[in-house]
Amino acid sequence: MILRLAFRNIVGNGYRSLINVLILAIVLIIMVWMQAMYHSWTRLALIQQTDWEYGKGLLRSKLYDPYDSYTWEDSAVREPEQLKSAIQGGDLVPILISPASIYPKGRMMPAVLRGIPHDQDVLRLPVSGLKAQGKDIIPVLIGQNMAQSSRLEKGDIFSIRIKDSSGVFNALDAEVSDVIHIPAASADMSSVWLDLEALREVKASESLVTYFVMGDARYADHEYENFRHIPKSEYFADFYKMLATERVQQVITYALLIFLAMIAVFDTQALAVFKRRKEIGTLASLGLTKGKISLLFTLEGIYYLLFAAIAGAILGFPLFWYFAQYGFQIPKGYEDFGIQGFTEPIYFVYPMGEIIGLYLLVLCFTALFSWLPTRKITKLSPVDALRGKVD
């Protein structure tokens, strides 16, 4: 009965209801869009980093600190004997890192050489082209970002100066065998990928390795001399920190949006309680308790949200579909910032659990802000209400 009356009142309220529903629907659309963007970006970034750099886990040399380039030169250690068979079987991909200077087109710039077996298939890097062809020139692979900063193109030949394990500088010529799109920015920026054996030869450091990428997660469970397992939580710690910052911004935006929507709901409800005093008095005279009359007004507010959810789904569908189908194109220039997940269009995936959670949150606020003005009803005498008396 109260549900039906609340529904009729909302429908009968005409444009005022429509405006409220539209405001709430717009807020819901923006919130769903933001939530999907955040979720899809996170998801994409994690997939990209996993596919292109992390694999099923990392075993890092204990001497290697990715944040301190001065450690890189001496951080490579010998492959543990116990892992030889896993390496040969392709379950572990050894990667050797070495700082170097490169001389593209006569300029000098610092770079990081990354040696990787040309037959690995754990990471998505297309490294088969790195196999030495018997020439003195070593084929290398670079990402688009590196190509842009070094102005190197496919087929360009440039020199590399590198210190070997005994501290002597060596030089070699390299040819860019391909310039590829590497979505994981950290595997692209300043990086020159080449065959592991070629790098070891130049560095005169047979069987040295900086870290292993695991193709099988079972290697995470054991202790290895000079190597330690890097769990996902540690590897993605910076990313998660960035997400936490984003989360704060997101919460502030949500709070502002909800606040604006709640102003509309509160205003409508307060006005309704004020304007519909006679109706309140009539309902009381018919035998409705004040609690039920308050409930009626609160339900009207909740109906706004239910209508808004439907309107939001209808109005927002083309938008939601477009971003799921064609993705959100990161504005030009953002890919240079090295932000994970910002290197290719973000195809929206809609996290239904989170979206339902958001709806419930807005529902709670709507119920609260619909109820607040109705507290006046409990203080209003039915006689004053029937008279339409104004406080």
Partner 1 sequence: MKESIVKIRNMGKAFPTGEGDFWALQNINLDFERGEFSGIVGPSGSGKTTLLNIIGSLDKPSLGDVEVLGQKIQTLNQKKSSILRAKHIGFIFQTYNLLPVYNVYENVEFPLLLLKMDAAKRERMVKDAIEWVGLTDKIKSRPNQLSGGQCQRVAIARAMVKKPDLVLADEPTANLDSENSYKILDTMLKLSEDLGTTFIFSTHDQKVISYLKRIIKLTDGEVSSDDTQTGV
Interface residues with partner 1 (CB under 8 A) are: 1, 5, 8-9, 11-12, 278-279, 281-282, 284-290, 381-383, 386
Min separation Cβ 351 and partner 1, Å: 38
Q: Coil, strand or helix: which one is 190?
A: coil
Residue 83 vs 284, nearer CB to partner 1: 284
Residue 79 vs 300, nearer CB to partner 1: 300
Min separation Cβ 20 and partner 1, Å: 16
**Residue 111 and residue 190 in contact, taking contact as beta carbons nearer than 8 Å:** yes
Residue 249 vs 289, nearer CB to partner 1: 289
Min separation Cβ 383 and partner 1, Å: 5
The single-letter code of the amino acid at 16 is R
- Length of the chain equals 391
Q: What is the 3-state secondary structure (H, E, C) of 217-270?
A: HHHHHCCECCEEEECHHHHCHHHHHHHHHHHHHHHHHHHHHHHHHHHHHHHHHH
- The alpha carbon of 242 is separated from its chain's Cα centroid by a whole number of angstroms, namely 9
Q: Which of these, 9, 20, 24, lies nearest to 275 by C-alpha position?
A: 9
Residue 270 vs 386, nearer CB to partner 1: 386
Burial of 262 from C-beta contacts in 10 A (0-12 / 13-18 / 19+): buried
The single-letter code of the amino acid at 382 is P
What's the token pair of residue 304? 């706004």
Residue 161 vs 376, nearer CB to partner 1: 376
- Alpha-carbon distance 155 to 104, whole Å? 12
Min separation Cβ 11 and partner 1, Å: 7
Residue 75 vs 374, nearer CB to partner 1: 374
Min separation Cβ 266 and partner 1, Å: 22
Location of structure tokens 């099923």:
56
What's the token pair of residue 87? 């390496």
Phi, psi of 56 (to 5 degrees): -100, 10
Min separation Cβ 246 and partner 1, Å: 45
**Residue 289 and residue 264 in contact, taking contact as beta carbons nearer than 8 Å:** no
Cα dihedral value 152, 155, 156, 160, nearest 10 = 100
What's the token pair of residue 271? 């006005």
Residue 11 vs 360, nearer CB to partner 1: 11
Residue 235 vs 297, nearer CB to partner 1: 297
Min separation Cβ 385 and partner 1, Å: 9
Min separation Cβ 273 and partner 1, Å: 16
Q: Which of these, 37, 48, 99, lies nearest to 71 by C-alpha position?
A: 99
- Enclosing H/E stretch for 112: strand 109-116
Residue 9 vs 205, nearer CB to partner 1: 9
Residue 13 vs 165, nearer CB to partner 1: 13
Min separation Cβ 28 and partner 1, Å: 26
- Alpha-carbon distance 184 to 46, whole Å? 9
Min separation Cβ 291 and partner 1, Å: 8
Q: What count of other Cβ atoms lies within 10 Å of the Cβ of residue 82?
A: 10
